[in-house]
Amino acid sequence: MLNCVPQARLRARLAQYASEWFAMGVLVAALGVTAVGATAWLIAGVACAALGSGLALLMLGIAVADARHFVIPDALTASALILGTASAGLDVDGTGVLPAIAEAVLRGTALAISFGVVRAAYYRWRRRHGIGIGDIKLAAVAGVWLTWTSMAIAVELAALTAVASLILTQWHRGKPLRRSTRLPFGLYFAPAIWLVWLLQAAVLAPQAPAG
């Protein structure tokens, strides 16, 4: 009888974990299907829509991984970089494949270096890292996929969303804001990259002249 209570609690806890993982799986699947459907519906061109759908799934995976484990998997980041390079090579603006890819690589490198500089400066000031290496790699993804202007929009959108979420979460929990509070920036940055790319490709991209 003495062992029944711990075993019952263990079974109840395992059942709770299983239900949480199932709910998370359903939510992620639903979001993935929605993102892919939105991309396919809004983006003209099979190749561009397929690459954008891949970006949506990869960014969703990064957001979930960072939210649960504070880790951005390198495999997802590398896959997003490969797809972004392919997307740049579609040459939608008529500049040529190689120049378009070179510019995308330049944007990704520039944004990643910018994040690295912020990381180094923050460490010098606070003696701890505020930006993870995974966030720097994700910045490279943003640069490859987005234009110079869109990059800034994605970063600002992610930062504002992250701060607002942190404030609301701490207020709901009745806890004060602390500088040491950990924040999974990839949870906000990854979806922002896809959303801004979708806006860029569906609305802001120049229309090819009819002829």
Q: What residues contact 142, with CB distance under 8 A and at least 6 apart? A: 108, 111, 151, 154, 155, 189, 193
Q: Which domain holds residue 171?
A: 4-204
Residue 209 belongs to some domain of the structure: no
The structural domain count of the chain equals 1
Residue 211 belongs to some domain of the structure: no
Considering only 6-10, 17-21, 172-176, which range has the smallest mean pLDDT?
Answer: 17-21
pLDDT at 1: 46
Model pLDDT for residues 66-115, shown as the tens digit of each residue: 998 899 999 999 999 999 999 998 855 667 888 999 999 999 999 999 99
Residue 210 belongs to some domain of the structure: no
Considering only 83-87, 153-157, 170-174, which range has the smallest mean pLDDT?
Answer: 170-174
Model pLDDT for residues 128-154, shown as the tens digit of each residue: 888 899 999 999 999 999 999 999 999
Element (H, E) at 33: helix 4-42
pLDDT band of residue 170 (cuts 50, 70, 90) is: confident
Residue 46 belongs to some domain of the structure: yes
Query: What does pLDDT average to over the chain?
Result: 82
Residue 100 belongs to some domain of the structure: yes
Are the CB atoms for 35 and 53 separated by under 8 Å? Answer: yes
Model pLDDT for residues 176-194, shown as the tens digit of each residue: 777 777 889 999 999 999 9
Residue 174 belongs to some domain of the structure: yes
pLDDT at 28: 66
Residue 151, CA atoms < 13 Å, CB-side half-sphere: 21
Are the CB atoms for 79 and 53 separated by under 8 Å? Answer: no
Residue 40, CA atoms < 13 Å, CB-side half-sphere: 10
